Structure 1
Amino acid sequence: MEFVTTGDGSKTLFNAEIGECYHSTHGAVQESRHVFVKTGLDHYVQTTGATDVGILEVGFGTGLNFLQTADFLQDKSFRVEYVGIEGFPLPLSTVAATGYETTVDPKIWTDYLDTYERALVENVQLNERLKLYIDHTLLLNFQSDRLFDVVYFDAFAAVHQPEMWNDAALGHIAQFIKPGGVFVTYAITGNLKRSMKALGFSIEKAPGAPGKREMLRATKL
């Protein structure tokens, strides 16, 4: 693992074993805010008026998407229960070295570091509007009694990790999305669109983050 500075000045991790960075080299924070917070969460809340939102993230990684979500919530009135799936959790020392404290409110950053390891074993209440649980498991082993409103699908690219994007993986995660729920990811390919349509989703091509022309947003029918 080594850190790489991305196009917006924020850092990401390069995973040599996978052969890819955790986030876009064009701008890690920009991608997180645009793809997941704006096109996923904000779109869902604006469309539905929901006051309680369940978010499921596939590929929790450094927690960047969680941190940007937490920061976005500060002047909002709705509540979020956030569950991340992560097969290979990073050590706290690596998370602390990301430099993401410059991108969010200081208290969010402090609370995140203070609760990160506990969130790997139990549901943690960070504040009155936000809960976090990081499920240390592989995608196909994930189980939940609840259905989620928004899925942040942030796995490594299909060229490096094809098993995360096949019909079995997508079908498994789709069962945990409620009708009207939204699935967002930075990628958009013909195979992905066909798979999501076959699983009962309507497909939208949304503007992509810097470096990508388009991204996928899918809504469960």
Structure 2
Amino acid sequence: MENRELGIRTTGDGSITFYSDQFDQHYHSIFGARTESERVFIELGYNYIMEHFNDPIQLLEVGFGTGLNAWLTGLAAEKSQRQTEYIGLEAYPIPKAHFDQFPTEIQVYQELAWGEQHTIHPYYSVIKQNVKVQDFLSDRKFHLVYYDAFSPEAQPEMWSEELFQRIADMLEAGGVLSTYCSKGMVQRNLKAVGFEVEKHPGPPHKREVLRAIKK
């Protein structure tokens, strides 16, 4: 399935998001794209992992999307001087025709070649894979998974017990899956495959988000 037309939107904190007509969803919160990503993925995910694992931090993102989370992670790795190896999976890449709508710092990530390792700075390397997570194969174990698929209403197959089992198998013991979606069904499916699920206060207009820890 190909991407349909995307529309850009400035969100509540001044950062941008895109709307996907294909999935009838925005990529990030309209109340603040950067604020949401910093809370869900950097604070609850990356900062937690820095306290519990040694370098290099192995990070998998399910839903590369706009590249916002990849960029924020690069900033965090540079600030903390923690070696971080990031792999971002995206089944439906944003078309090149839209790249010039991105802020320059994020546009850089969109323009990276697929399937190649790129050194962004001495503490951070990035590989983008144009593949569904269901088809992704890796010989490494990850410390952290950013789970940033579209909502269960748009992509129910992405929130199944079966798929969370696949994610759990890729994680180190004590590793984390962080996600914006706290629906009861998501919590139940995570618990069913052995995650300890923590509910945390979310960003503006989002009551709860999840950090799930592999037991």
TM-score after normalising by structure 2: 0.92
**Equivalent position of 2:95 in the other structure:** 91
**Equivalent position of 2:3 in the other structure:** none
Q: Which runs of structure 2 are paired with 1:118-129 in the superposition (5 Å)?
A: 118=113, 120-129=114-123
Q: Structure 2, unaligned stretches of length 5 or more?
A: 1-5
Q: Which runs of structure 2 are paired with 1:68-147 in the superposition (5 Å)?
A: 68-99=72-103, 101=104, 109=105, 113=108, 116-118=111-113, 120-147=114-141
Aligned length: 210
**Equivalent position of 1:25 in the other structure:** 30
Indicate yes or no: 2:146 matched with 1:152: yes
Deviation at 1:171, TM superposition (A): 1.7
**Equivalent position of 1:188 in the other structure:** 182
Alignment-mate amino acid for residue 141 of structure 1: D
**Equivalent position of 1:3 in the other structure:** 8
| Alpha-carbon separation, structure 1, partners of 2:164 and 2:150 | 14
Moved over 6 A (4+): none
Indicate yes or no: 2:197 matched with 1:203: yes
Measured against aligned partners, the alpha-carbon deviations of 1:112-152 in whole angstroms (never above 9, x if no partner) come to: 6278332x121112221111011111121111101100100
Q: Kindly tell me: are residues 196 and 98 of structure 1, through their superposed partners in 2, closer, same or farther at Cα, counting changes over 3 Å? A: same
Alignment-mate amino acid for residue 73 of structure 2: T
Alignment-mate amino acid for residue 36 of structure 2: E
Percent identical across equivalent pairs? 36
TM-score after normalising by structure 1: 0.90
Task: Choose from 34, 44, 51 the match for 2:39.
Answer: 34
Deviation at 1:74, TM superposition (A): 2.2
Deviation at 1:191, TM superposition (A): 1.3
Measured against aligned partners, the alpha-carbon deviations of 1:2-25 in whole angstroms (never above 9, x if no partner) come to: 101111111100001100100011
